[in-house]
Amino acid sequence: MTPRKKLEGLVAATVTPMTPDGQINLSVIHQYVDYLVSEQNVKNIFVNGTTGEGLSLSIQERKQLAEEWMCQGKDKLDHVIIHVGALSLLESQELARHAAAIDASGIAVIAPSFFKPRNKDELLGFLQKVASEAPTVPFYYYHIPALTGVKIRVEELLDGIREQIPTFQGVKFSDTDLLDLAQCINKNEREQFVFLYGVDEQLLSALAIGTNGAVGSTYNYLGRKTNLMLQAFAKPDLALAQKYQFLMGEFLSFVIKLGFGVAQTKAVMTFVSGIPMGPPRLPLVSASEEFIAKAKAKLESIVWPDGD
Ligand SMILES: CC(=O)N[C@H](C=O)[C@@H](O)[C@H](O)[C@H](O)CO
Ligand SMILES: CC(=O)C(=O)O
């Protein structure tokens, strides 16, 4: 993936398409890439993460998916970040080497979450061993304490990180602790790192603090609207940016009350894009017909400022 521009703006955390019988479905990835680029104006993706059910896939499946996204994204996408985190250090290293071999534009690693690192040094030790397997690939730490249970503050982690991980490029920050994010950005004076926010419903607050962009599940189907929010914020037309954030929030708070997770994201993406994303893998179970009908009606009822 060359040339490599600095990562900014929106990154869609892709779902992993599956066949009705639960196998990964590589055949629709071509269509998925075209949809993101032409319908959502999103040219960066984050593969095999939370939304992609990365931790529920086999190593072989993760490699096949990474290859297919790279292949279909060639000349169409700007950045393909592959999540290579795993509970086993050896598997994570294997995935990092694989991502490097296929020329991914970045790798990301989540904190191991069964046996958990108890402090910054233990976490850094693990991350360093993975990053060093891909010595030319930009490395991102994926901070998602609500799912990993690893609550080490990012501000603390960043202190001196480049000495241990020379490829360290930034953080995918999926937490509501905006004080921690603000302190990270405040310390990043020379702007050598990027901070990508991962709680879509409050992205505008993170923009105000200075985040460089966002990685999220909703940019699969609300990428175009969120791009309009980013433009309004940059203008600056704060009232318009707020309007977009409020409307996205209206949809998300509605579906969150119904029970919203990766299975539901797959269902929403299926009805919005028309691409069959299939069921999730156990322990996740498919969204109900009732959820789908309600979510669809809600999304269609929203009147966006651009007239859609
Ligand atoms: C827990 C989770 O999946 N977080 C995603 C990314 O980090 C977000 O994109 C959310 O799906 C989104 O903010 C909706 O709550
Ligand atoms: C949302 C996100 O970034 C992920 O699915 O990993």
The tens digit of pLDDT for each residue in 6-56 reads 888 999 999 999 999 999 999 999 999 999 999 999 999 999 999 999 999
**Stretch 59-71: mean pLDDT, rounded?**
98
Mean confidence (pLDDT) of the chain:
96
Instruction: Yes or no: say if 51 and 298 are a contact pair by the CB < 8 Å rule.
Output: no
* Residue 259 predicted with pLDDT over 50: yes
* Residue 121 predicted with pLDDT over 70: yes
Cα angle, residue 130 at apex, residues 126 and 131 outer, rounded to 5°: 115
- pTM beyond cutoff 0.90: yes
For residues 301 and 283, give the distance between their C-alpha atoms in angstroms, rounded to a whole number: 32
Instruction: Yes or no: say if 85 and 108 are a contact pair by the CB < 8 Å rule.
Output: yes
Asked if residue 304 is part of any domain, the answer here is no
* Beta-bridge partner residues of 80: 45
Mutate to test the pocket of ligand 1, among 171, 200, 201, 204 (most ligand atoms within 8 A of CB): 200
Does ligand 1 lie within 6 Å of residue 252's CB atom? Answer: yes
Residue 114 structural domain = 9-239
pLDDT at 191 (0 to 100): 83
**Stretch 76-105: mean pLDDT, rounded?**
98
| Number of structural domains the chain divides into | 1
Asked if residue 264 is part of any domain, the answer here is no
Asked if residue 72 is part of any domain, the answer here is yes
pLDDT at 2 (0 to 100): 45
Q: Which ligand is nearest to the CA of 144?
A: 1
CA–centroid distance, 2 to ligand 2, in Å, is 24
Instruction: Yes or no: say if 170 and 157 are a contact pair by the CB < 8 Å rule.
Output: no
**Stretch 68-72: mean pLDDT, rounded?**
98
* Residue 135 predicted with pLDDT over 60: yes
Q: According to DSSP H, which parts of 120-199 are helical?
A: 120-131, 145-148, 154-158, 161-164, 178-187
Mutate to test the pocket of ligand 1, among 174, 175, 252 (most ligand atoms within 8 A of CB): 174
Atom of ligand 1 nearest to the CA of 144: 7
Q: Is 51 annotated as a binding residue?
A: yes
* Residue 1 predicted with pLDDT over 70: no
Asked if residue 3 is part of any domain, the answer here is no
* Known catalytic membership, residue 142: yes
**Stretch 185-189: mean pLDDT, rounded?**
92
Atom of ligand 2 nearest to the CA of 262: 5
Question: For residue 9, what is the enclosing H or E element?
Answer: strand 9-13
Asked if residue 82 is part of any domain, the answer here is yes
**CATH number of the domain where residue 194 is located:** 3.20.20.70
Q: What is the pLDDT of residues 266-293, one digit of tens each?
A: 999 999 999 999 999 999 999 999 999 9
Does ligand 2 lie within 6 Å of residue 215's CB atom? Answer: yes
Asked if residue 270 is part of any domain, the answer here is no
* Residue 168 predicted with pLDDT over 90: yes
pLDDT at 4 (0 to 100): 64
ipTM surpassing 0.90: yes
CA–centroid distance, 46 to ligand 2, in Å, is 7
Asked if residue 50 is part of any domain, the answer here is yes
CA–centroid distance, 201 to ligand 1, in Å, is 9
Asked if residue 234 is part of any domain, the answer here is yes
At 189, the pLDDT band (50, 70, 90 cuts) reads confident
* Known catalytic membership, residue 172: yes
Which of 198, 82, 187 is CA-nearest to residue 130? 82
